[in-house]
Amino acid sequence: MDIISITFLSKSENIKIARSVVQKFLSQKAVNEQDIFDTELAVNEAIANIIEHTYKFEKDKIIKMTLKWTEPNVLEIYLRDFGPKVDPSKVKPRPLEEIRPGGLGVYIIQKIFDVMEFKDVSCGNLLLLKKEYNI
């Protein structure tokens, strides 16, 4: 098992740092480039959703990202925020037939990760993203 955590403020520019951590972490695990890119993209969308929907673009809120590598070849990503509770039943992708900008983050996340699930925490939200890689 291998674990790394970073904590950062809810500024959009910090998504690049989170993506970089994901990229470095997975490249050390011999994950192929396409899977790394896809994982980065899904993490990007999940953090962007926290910034936009939970924190309403406030730049001084805390986000904690934990990457956990377990055998065999499974990545778990925990994204923790301390904003208002999210109703998991309302977190769903928009219909793809609706042609308009935005709103595809949840679709992308669910397409890339095997598991997308909100864990019960006393304050804020904890999102678990889980994926098994073919290495």
Query: Tens digit of pLDDT for each residue in 116-125?
Result: 999 999 999 9
For residue range 49-91, what is the model confidence (pLDDT) as tens digits?
999 999 999 999 999 999 999 988 999 999 999 999 998 777 6
Cβ count near 89 (within 10 Å): 7
Percentage of the chain exceeding pLDDT 90: 81
Spell out the CATH class of 1-130.
Answer: alpha beta
- The pLDDT assigned to 97 comes to 65
- CA 50 – CA 35 distance, rounded (Å): 23
Average pLDDT over residues 8-31: 97
Evaluate if pTM is beyond 0.85. yes
Write out 107-123 in H/E/C secondary structure. Answer: HHHHHHCCEEEEECCCC
Q: How is the chain split into domains, by residue range?
A: 1-130
For residue range 96-112, what is the model confidence (pLDDT) as tens digits?
666 655 667 899 999 99
Closest among 89, 84, 79, 88 to 124, alpha carbons compared: 84
